[in-house]
Chains A and B, each alone.
Chain A
Amino acid sequence: MLKVLDSAVPVACWSCSVAHNESILFCPHCSKIQPPPGGDYFSVFGLAPRLDLDLGMLEHEFHRLSRKLHPDRFARALPNEKDWSLADTALLNDAYRTLRDPIRRTGYLLKLQGAEMGEEHSGKDRKDPSRVPADLLEEVFELNMQLEEMRMARKMGQTDPDLQADLTAAKKKFDGLLDAVDQDLRGQWKVWDEGDEAARQSAQKTMVALLDRRRYLSNLVRDVTETLGA
């Protein structure tokens, strides 16, 4: 399980001492700001984990909570209130950034469910042939050759219109594959949000694979775009 924040959760409000539910940002009794709650990103917005979200509602909640939590509202507050405003707002921002983006949101929910995920920021495994989706092996091999050729040509100051056209076509094809992955993902969202436990388990497995494929494809598209645009 992903642990969002590590601060100790008090059982009682620091200000009025009335006991409260631990996953709140403000004391229901005296309205004072509380230390970051221990829940997940969804709970920051009062939501149960789900994948199909109303982004308009999410933005509205983000703005409403920002108005109450932001450090600008605590510039002259007590030192502990300042600290919690900072920590709570960071949590709110991290949560909003993650949940409003469909891919990040999916990845986050899968991690929350204990799925093993590839790391978003490790770009170095891109060249690892074992990570190439099986149905794309041949095309990827071909594409990598062309990319290498293109880079060499560039270095020599040459242009190769045929190669350029091939790469542009390849980019279009992989863009299309990306779109297909996104469509499939959306289909799985519905299954996860509405299905029973067994359906969820199977949707999770499918989504982990889809996200892997997606990461691979978008790295590839980025490489092609960079090489074409250089």
Chain B
Amino acid sequence: MSEGRVVGIDLGTTNSLVAYMEGAAPVVIPGVDGSNLVPSVVALDPLPEGGGRPTVTVGNSARRALIETPERVIYSVKRLMGRGLSEVQSELKLFPFRLADDVEAGEVPRIQLGELKFTPPEISAYVLRQLKRNAERFFGAPVTQAVITVPAYFNDAQRQATKDAGRMAGLEVLRLVNEPTAAALAYGLDRANVGTIAVYDLGGGTFDISILKLRDGIFEVQSTNGDTHLGGDDIDNLLLTIALDEIYSEHGVDLRAHPSAVQAVRKAAIDAKIKLSTEQAAQFDIELPNGDRYQREIPRAVFEQLIEPVLERTAGPCKQAMTDAGLTPDQIDAVVMVGGSTRIPAVRQLVDDLFQLAPRGKKPHIELHPDEVVALGAAVQADILAGASTATEEMLLLDVTPLSLGIEALGGTVARIIQRNSTIPASATEHFTTGVDGQTNVAIHVVQGERELAADCRSLARFDLKGIPPMSAGLPRIEVRFLIDADGILQVSAREQRSGKAAQIEVKPTYGLSDEQVESMILESFDHAEEDFAKRLLIEARNEAETILSAVERAPESPAWQQLTGEEQAAVSAARDRLAAVKLGEDAAAIRDATLALDQATRRFAELMMEAAVTTAIRGKTMDAAGEEMGDEVTAPHPMAPAEFK
């Protein structure tokens, strides 16, 4: 049994993060580039010459490919997780990626990416593997267990798809945690733990509202509601549609046929949206392929009018959640804001109105970074699961199932067996019998949702109870136990009571991969064995050594080199020679040590270089321009912002 660290992962629509508990405080683990956010973007590098599989890249580097090779890039894949063919088809209308040609109804849709095809869980697995690697690099040790967050309103198939993705990435998913609940954990860590709080989570592609009661370290979810089809992407798409329509009507250019042009306009739309959170107006200024310019100003008032229908769609779920919890707005002690879209002033105003905050002298809570709070909460939950931590030993999360579970009854109606907002794990036992003499099979159709007819609910799975001993009709008594586990995923067991035989169950999930399919999709990587991990550490250590050696190689050409004393120069040369020798060996730790030693020996040289560089930079530019460049580095990246395409 692995007793390594358990990390918390926020697998987001737009960005993903990995965090862990450092003592009593959750901390986000940065990537190699120093950024806390890994864009949930996956790109396929060009086909290698001479054949073989192209390399898959993730994050910022993948995002750079969006403009140049949009047909080899995929993002927002969370919107496709656990969805069926027709749902994916309608989802893809606004995205530049396409379904593979040979996808058939009933199987998990695959997306065409360059010359390869991937299911949504496979794409997510690449993002997860990147986060796993970032954590492993940070700890210098393998990471095999994780808590992953999902939107509270995710259904069974979407949850299963997320767990599948974890497994493909070489992670044992100890728990799926609902995103708003995770945020509450992060907020509740160092507060007086009493009261009723609402978490309003408007992310890139999903909306969740959860209401929790906090008492003595117990976080008890009272109700949850949401929309897995609502988020910042919808706002981007509104602006995008306007721009594309106007470009067509005013300039006669139909950009929709050019994925990379659409990407450029999308980027402009996202920039405008972000600007409108702080400014009163934003501008579109886009150069068109025919040489024209599309220029347009969007005043904030126009923007707010435009997005009002989108924001208004969050009001219904909020009201329903309060009703389900038996609460009125004035009984909500605090509202926590989560997700990049809650930066929009109109969103904050809507929340203020919904929960009557201003009249009560309250404000929505935005103290924790809205992009990081879910990952931080996941780290808290990871710490709870790992156990033996004084920071979280008193804490316990009691979550609920967001959707009712039902069985299709005669006439296509739904017999509800587990109500929504039931604390999970939850179970229900139902009895079934046969309708025909000698019948040995009984089929059960399980659905999720609140509608009266099974056809209007979401089909979850069809169970075939087999091996019933032949008896007269109505005589067998098959007891079926439905259990929603702590991840919100359904488990079923059955037995025939008269014969005492455990009935065989054949489960056909309506949407989803079989165990065998998941096995076959486990990312070909050396993430599993310790020995392979050592191999990877060695490769990474050698790469780092290579980088510093080639820098030191060029050092004597620099004027700064001449400023070093003879002794200092000799020390650098000695450390360089030692690293060059050790690098040929197999000992990753020794290579690391020698790299560090060389780094130490060149410290003064590096300082001299820096001084020279800064002097040159400031001499060469105005202070303003230099400040702007710095500014890019120090401000926290917006979840939809830091695309760096040129």
Contact = CB atoms under 8 A, between A and B. Distances in A.
B452 A75 contact: no
B320 to A, nearest CB: 13
Interface of B: 1, 3, 6, 174-175, 215-216, 218, 220, 381, 384-387, 396-398, 406, 409, 411, 413, 415-417, 422-429, 452, 479, 481, 483, 485-486, 495
Interface stretch (A11-19, A38-46, A117-125, A207-215): A117-125
Contacts of A97: 422-423, 426
Nearest to B407: A121
A84 B385 CA distance: 17
Nearest to B6: A75
Q: Interface residue tally of chain A, by bracket?
A: 20 to 34
From A3, A75, A97, name the one whose CB has the most chain B CB atoms within 10 angstroms.
Answer: A75
B145 to A, nearest CB: 8
A228 B511 CA distance: 37
Interface stretch (A87-95, A143-151, A192-200): A87-95
Given A63-B216, A90-B483, A123-B452, 14 more contacts: A5-B429, A6-B429, A63-B218, A66-B396, A72-B381, A75-B175, A76-B3, A76-B386, A86-B425, A91-B427, A94-B428, A97-B422, A121-B417, A122-B415
A37 interface: no
B216 A93 contact: no
Nearest to A73: B387
29 contacts: A5-B481, A6-B429, A63-B218, A70-B398, A71-B175, A72-B385, A72-B396, A72-B486, A73-B387, A73-B396, A75-B386, A75-B387, A76-B1, A76-B386, A76-B387, A86-B486, A87-B427, A87-B483, A90-B427, A91-B427, A93-B423, A93-B426, A94-B426, A94-B428, A96-B423, A97-B423, A97-B426, A121-B406, A124-B411
B425 A89 contact: yes
Contacts of A3: 429
Nearest to A91: B427
Contacts of A67: 218, 396
Q: Which one of B386, B397, B423, B483 has the highest number of Cβ atoms from chain A below 10 Å of its Cβ?
A: B423
Which of B381, B387, B425 is the most central at the interface, judged by chain A CB atoms within 10 Å of its CB? B425
A104 to B, nearest CB: 10
Given A6-B479, A66-B218, A90-B483, A75 B413 contact: no
Nearest to B147: A75
A11 B347 CA distance: 59
Residue among A4, A87, A91, A93 with the most chain B CB within 10 A? A93
A93 B422 contact: yes
Looking at A6, A90, A93, A97, the one whose CB has the most chain B CB atoms below 10 A away is A90
A89 B486 CA distance: 9
B455 to A, nearest CB: 16
B442 to A, nearest CB: 18
B477 to A, nearest CB: 11
Contacts of A75: 6, 174-175, 385-387
Contacts of B495: 6
A92 to B, nearest CB: 9
Given A75-B386, A121-B416, A124-B413, A86 B174 contact: no
Contacts of B384: 72
- 8 smallest CB-CB distances across A and B, nearest first, come from A75-B385, A90-B425, A90-B427, A71-B486, A93-B423, A121-B416, A75-B174, A121-B415
